[in-house]
Amino acid sequence: MSGTYQLSPESSAFRANLASLVSPLRRVRSRTPFFRLAAHRIPTLWDLYRGLLRNSPTEQVKFRVRLAFRQNRYLTSPEETRKQLEQGYKYLDFFKKAMEGDTYRQEVMLRYSDMILLKREKSQMKRLMCEELDWQLERRNQPMMTGGFIRPTVLNIPLPRMKPQPQATSMIFVKRRMAREKRHFRRESFEDELQDLQIEADLEKRLQRTLSKPFPDVFSGDLHFEWTKPIYDAIAEIKATQSREYERATMPYPTELVQEVLEARREKHRNLARGRERERRGEMTKNALKRKRGTPPSWVIAAMSPKLRDMDKVSRSLSEVGYVALVKHRLGFKLKDPEAGLELGKEENRPLLDLTTEVIRTENKRRVAEERQMIQRLSRDRPHSHMGRRQGKE
């Protein structure tokens, strides 16, 4: 058993014959993807793609062919690619028959072209609407000057106050604050290293004085400067950065910035005035809704009567004429023209108007009393009717 095992000549011949029979049956797969092979690209581009474009009756159909090829250019599945190619060759046969004079297929192609045109117009309109909505959204969140200043600090120069504040400005403040803290900790670590080096240098000097044998210089002497120079340079850079921060904190307001902020402040007041003018004309603005929905503090409302609550609600309007002016006058508001908007009538007609008002109020009180009596009478009669129904059922 210790000898080397060797195949017999018959076994070797049998294995060689078996390999020659099986080798042609083994599947050989190319390492190159099918979509990079010339056998796929040349027929697809030169026969199918060019054939569809040449036989397309209108520009709309050509557009659809180009779009289909662009959408399917990234297919890597052989099965899915084969399905798309079979469908493409069916379309090519259809297009060729239409170009040869088939009336039915020509009508189908024209209807297909009209459908593509309508769909393109619809998609174009949808794209324009989406762009407009995106632009409005950007405008809604667009930073605007409020008319105030961001005072200069070690983190920023003088800046205009904006609402909402740009994210880039906020990130500048955050990153500079973090960098300032890191520089502070670095300077403390450098100062500790300098103390450690000084302690080592003093220790070497004491050892050199006390020992009889020469002690080599590692941290003292001329080598001490080599150890401390990089640290002093880093500390000098930190000090220069701090000096620039202090210059930033004491920087004066630029003239152009002051003019822009003041103009924004004036524009803000003009915008508010325009909004009040629109409200006086009857337009319901956002500020008007907010003001009308507002109420006095809770402890004030608790002490107010229902009539005073209604008057407070009416007085929140910007109007200064008619009933609103009368309510504001009774509540003690200062009006621009106290006599202009009360509409009390002429002096000679006021007695008649007062009499008419009294008659109307008396009639209203009488009708309210009659309605209350009717409600009370109906409430008394209703239990008897229910008792009668119950007795009839028994």
pLDDT tens string, the chain, 394 residues long: the values are 445 567 788 888 888 887 777 777 666 677 788 888 888 999 999 999 999 999 999 999 999 999 999 999 999 999 999 999 999 999 999 999 999 988 999 999 999 999 999 999 999 999 999 999 999 888 888 899 999 999 999 999 999 999 989 999 999 999 999 999 999 999 999 999 999 999 999 988 888 888 877 778 888 888 888 999 999 999 999 999 999 999 999 999 999 999 999 999 999 999 989 988 888 887 888 888 888 888 888 888 889 898 888 889 888 887 787 788 888 888 888 888 777 655 566 777 778 888 888 899 899 999 999 998 888 888 887 655 544 444 444 4
The sign of the CA dihedral 64, 66, 71, 76 is positive
User: In which region does residue 332 sit, left (phi positive, over 0), alpha (psi from -120 to 50) or beta (all else)?
Assistant: left
Which segments of 135-251 are extended strands (E)? Answer: 144-150, 159-163
Phi, psi of 146 (to 5 degrees): -95, -5
State the Cα–Cα distance between residues 342 and 363, nearest whole angstrom.
25
State the Cα–Cα distance between residues 91 and 51, nearest whole angstrom.
10
Neighbours of 220 (CB within 10 A): 20
Q: How many residues does the chain have?
A: 394
The residues that bridge with 149 in the sheet, in sequence order, are 160
The sign of the CA dihedral 48, 53, 55, 61 is positive
Q: What pLDDT score does 1 carry? A: 44
User: In which region does residue 180 sit, left (phi positive, over 0), alpha (psi from -120 to 50) or beta (all else)?
Assistant: alpha
CB 329 within 8 A of CB 338: yes
The gap between the terminal CA atoms of the chain, to the nearest Å, is 120
Q: What pLDDT score does 301 carry? A: 87
Neighbours of 328 (CB within 10 A): 22
The CA angle 144-150-155, to the nearest 5 degrees, is 120
The residues that bridge with 159 in the sheet, in sequence order, are 150
Q: With b meaning 16 or more CB within 10 Å and e meaning fewer, what string describes 272-290? A: eeebeeebeeeeeeeebee
State the Cα–Cα distance between residues 99 and 192, nearest whole angstrom.
90
Cα separations in angstroms, 335 against 214, 323, 343: 101, 13, 14
Q: What pLDDT score does 271 carry? A: 92
Neighbours of 131 (CB within 10 A): 10
Q: What pLDDT score does 211 carry? A: 80
Q: What pLDDT score does 46 carry? A: 92
Amino acid identity of 250? Answer: T
CB 319 within 8 A of CB 278: no
Q: Which residue in this structure is represented by tokens 């007041």?
A: 269
Q: What pLDDT score does 292 carry? A: 81
State the Cα–Cα distance between residues 221 and 105, nearest whole angstrom.
101
DSSP helix/strand/coil, 142: coil
Q: What pLDDT score does 45 carry? A: 92
Q: What pLDDT score does 314 carry? A: 87
Q: What pLDDT score does 387 carry? A: 47
* 138's tokens: 């950007």
